[in-house]
Amino acid sequence: MKFVRFIMKNAALASAPKHIEHFSKFSPSPLSMKQFIDFGSINACEKTSFVFLRQELPVRLSNIMKEINLLPDKLLTTPSVQMVQRWYSQSLMEILDFLDQNPDDHRVLAEFVDTLVTIRNRHNDVVPTMAQGVIEYKEVFPQDVVTNQNIQYFLDRFYMSRISIRMLINQHTLVFDGTTNPVHPNTIGSIDAQCNVGDVVQDAFHSAKMLCDQYYLRSPDLVLQEMNHKTSHPISMVYVPSHLYHMLFELFKNAMRATIETHESSNNLPPIKVMVSLGGEDMSIKVSDRGGGVPFRRIEKLFSYMYSTAPAPQIGDHSRTPLAGFGYGLPISRLYAKYFQGDLQFYSMEGFGTDAVIYLKALSTDSIERLPVYNKTALKNYKVCQEADDWCVPSKEPLDLRKYKVA
């Protein structure tokens, strides 16, 4: 019986390219935060969500799977990337099994929830596994600027797609599993319609502080200010608390590490200052440290998947310092900010410190998913070739003018 299931599974996976080709012809349908909220609270209908997801998830999976195939062959053949491809193909085929199922059958709806949970669990290690694939590639093959640009472009889109797919899966499974979150009873799926920003700042800071205390045996303090230009109440917004926590936790880890290593000979550590400001369009969070800053030329490298200041960990290796990793923390934090049309920017003064600013949309109607779509424009980005610069590139050594003698 197991052998028969194995044969059937392999036969299904073999037909995946045909389905990928079909569903990648459609563009994903981005949802706004307001649509997520309205659907989960007012119009919550499991049948409607089922019908939407059994079409939308294959479209999102297929669009990004077409782009995986555009990666350099040397990266595609690494064991880790091949494993990720198998996960995506298997998940696609499992969802397609529901295309012809009856949405009025409660057993079908229950099986769909179980399948989504299985898919979510299968994809838990996608980020470190893909990161391991990049490491495997870098260890064997020489680096070049164009290939690095292509990988950077792909990983931004791949991880953004993953964030969006998990968002859809989490909303469906959390809204329709029949239970409520006892800690946050007002949440709709993973969204908090009254997300208290200050509370999330405090939670993320104390988690990072605990790690910092364990590793360095001390940590800087937090100074938190809020500027609400609408009311005198604490700032709250419609948002996904786990996304905001992820961004802030990463920023606090970096700020604490920089502060301690810069002031290691001092008894007193300068605090990390956070300013939260709510305006008419934006909700902004500025995290300021006095950790010595970063040279201007290195700012953009902080968001590169091909660059990390820490030694690469192995998957499952828990002996490493908790304040370092694959170097993916900042790039993925910026993707979380961009997912609902926000951003994450760094402003640094070398020799002093760094300001990291998270920009988010204040209105739920403006917070719309930012989704990658496979088309000719995307294809063009993978065919970029290195051309001569139209600006003079300074040499590392100053020009010796003594060679040029006046006649």
Distance CA 360, CA 328 (A): 21
**184 a catalytic residue:** no
Per-residue DSSP letters for 117-142?
HHHHHHTTTHHHHHHHHHHHHHHHS-
Comparing CA positions, the residue from 277, 216, 286, 214 lying closest to residue 252 is: 286
Read off the DSSP letter of residue 368: B
Which residue of the set 172, 209, 246, 361 is catalytic?
Answer: 246
Q: 3-state class of 224 per DSSP?
A: strand
**250 a catalytic residue:** yes
Comparing CA positions, the residue from 356, 319, 316, 361 lying closest to residue 338 is: 361
Which residue of the set 123, 253, 286, 361 is catalytic?
Answer: 253
Read off the DSSP letter of residue 377: H
Comparing CA positions, the residue from 113, 83, 86 lying closest to residue 98 is: 113
Helical (H) or strand (E) element with 247: helix 241-262
Which residue of the set 67, 250, 273, 286 is catalytic?
Answer: 250
Q: How far is CA 260 from the centre of its chain?
A: 27
Distance CA 294, CA 355 (A): 10
Per-residue DSSP letters for 140-203?
HS---HHHHHHHHHHHHHHHHHHHHHHHHHHHHHHHSSS---SS-TTEETTEEEEEEHHHHHHH
Task: Centre a 10 Å sphere on the Cβ of residue 54 and count the other Cβ atoms it contains.
Answer: 18
Q: For the chain, what's the residue count?
A: 407
Half-sphere exposure of 238 (CA within 13 A, CB side): 19
Which residue of the set 63, 254, 273, 361 is catalytic?
Answer: 254
Residues recognised as catalytic = 246, 250, 253-254
